[in-house]
Structure 1
Amino acid sequence: MGTREDLLAGAKQCLAERGLARTTVRDIVAASGTNLAAINYHFGTRDQLLNQAMLESTAESVSRILTSLPEGDDLDSPQRLKSFWDRLIESFGRDQALWSANVEAMAQALHSPELRTEIGAAQVRAREGLSQALGDNDPRIGAVVQTLIGGLLVQALIDPANTPTADDLAAGVRALAALSDPHHD
């Protein structure tokens, strides 16, 4: 690995261990085995390095979940979606520091047009990837799932004991679909 990759690996480690707000440049330098000047040379600022590390870490986590889903016709759509929810909810507990950093980055994006643009582009890719991974190319499916993920993530971080299960989510989506049916009584 080169210095840039070492910095990213060190920043990802710090995000997982300390979170976004508590990670210092000294932490990153120690974890990466590089030096302070390398951060400025390769990324410009600590925030730009951490933003890149957070985006990559989040993308890697979601990608692991999506690629772990059975391929082809091994599962029907409802089973595939339930498997996705189960694995995602599990990752919120297992990778809590990473997901907390993700929420911190969302708050940071309110004050950083650059980060807002990067997260916005990542969200578009995520909607497309979610739709495809769940067996449909309708981007509206990815949009709804992504919206549910945001709320589910906050719930899991704040009150894990009361986080909805995959079955709760499936039943809720079915009930919501019934409510949105114009022929529903």
Structure 2
Amino acid sequence: MGHREDLLEGAKRCLLEKGFVRTTARDIVKESGTNLASIGYHYGSKDKLLADAYVSLVEDLSGAFDPGAGVSKGVAPGSLERFQEVWSNIIRTMREPGSLWHLSMEIVVMGDKLPEVRDHLARAQREAGRGIIPLLMGGREEDVTDDDIDSVGMFYNTLMTGLIAQWTFDPATAPDADQLTEGLRRVMEAAARSAG
């Protein structure tokens, strides 16, 4: 690995151990075995490096969301069953000790102290919407339109952020996938009644 990759891996370890606010450039350098100048050269700033490290952590974890990670064969894309199983996979990652999702809440709460990290992650959130749509609705990521991202993707991102907040605040009362699915089913039924 080169310095760029070493820095990214070191920053990931620092984030999981200390979070965004408490991680210093010196922590990253110590953890990565590189030097301070490497951060600026490869990433421009410590905050940009931390944002990239967070995105990389989420990407590493996103395989656990995939329908193949626990979805029954034959579950139709876009169905309530698919919704339930994908969200069950996502929630499983929130239950794990040391869940990286706590870092998301740190950005929500402390984002004004880390504007470069917040801004970078806000842009990355759009791509997260592009990635989650095929998991739930089927299809290919490259076929997801901007309109899909601005509607369905934002709906799923909002659901994800709310879940992260609830699981961080009080895991004992946070909803599980069954509750989310039942809530969605009732909303869909009410919408169908009002349309008919």
Q: TM-score range by the shorter chain?
A: 0.7 to 0.9
Aligned to 2:189: 178
CA contact (8 A) 1:3 1:38 kept: yes
Aligned to 2:141: none
Aligned to 1:91: 93
Measure how far apart 1:9 and its partner are.
0.3
The correspondence of residues 39-78 of structure 1 with structure 2, limited to 5 A, is 39-66=39-66, 68-69=68-69, 74-76=74-76, 77-78=79-80
Measure how far apart 1:84 and its partner are.
1.2
In structure 1, how many angstroms separate the alpha carbons of the residues matched to 2:112 and 2:195? 39
| Cα distance change, pair 96–148 in 1 and its aligned pair in 2 (3 A) | farther
Measure how far apart 1:135 and its partner are.
2.8
CA contact (8 A) 1:39 1:49 kept: yes
Structure 1 counterpart of 2:170, from 159, 162, 166: 159
Aligned to 2:81: 79
Aligned to 2:6: 6
CA contact (8 A) 2:129 2:157 kept: yes
Measure how far apart 1:129 and its partner are.
2.0
In structure 2, how many angstroms separate the alpha carbons of the residues matched to 1:146 and 1:176? 18
Counterpart of 2:74 in 1: which secondary structure? coil
| Cα distance change, pair 70–52 in 1 and its aligned pair in 2 (3 A) | same
Measure how far apart 1:6 and its partner are.
0.3
Measure how far apart 1:3 and its partner are.
0.2
Gaps of 5+ in 2: 139-143
Q: Partner amino acid for 1:79?
A: E
Measure how far apart 1:115 and its partner are.
4.3
Structure 2 counterpart of 1:169, from 173, 180, 187: 180
1:60-96 per-residue CA deviation (whole Å, 9 max, x = no partner) reads: 3224422644689632332222221111111112264
Name the count of aligned residue pairs: 185
Gaps of 5+ in 1: none
Measure how far apart 1:56 and its partner are.
1.9
For the aligned residues, what is the CA RMSD?
Answer: 2.8
| Cα distance change, pair 121–63 in 1 and its aligned pair in 2 (3 A) | farther
In structure 2, how many angstroms separate the alpha carbons of the residues matched to 1:71 and 1:93? 18
- Relative to the length of structure 2, the TM-score reads 0.79
| Cα distance change, pair 68–23 in 1 and its aligned pair in 2 (3 A) | farther
Measure how far apart 1:14 and its partner are.
0.9
CA contact (8 A) 1:96 1:157 kept: no
Aligned to 1:132: 134
In structure 1, how many angstroms separate the alpha carbons of the residues matched to 2:61 and 2:182? 26
- Runs of 4+ in structure 1 off by over 6 angstroms are none
CA contact (8 A) 1:19 1:97 kept: no
In structure 2, how many angstroms separate the alpha carbons of the residues matched to 1:155 and 1:13? 25
1:104-146 per-residue CA deviation (whole Å, 9 max, x = no partner) reads: 2344555666545533332222222222111346554333222
In structure 1, how many angstroms separate the alpha carbons of the residues matched to 2:118 and 2:21? 17
Question: Is residue 33 of structure 1 aligned with residue 33 of structure 2?
Answer: yes
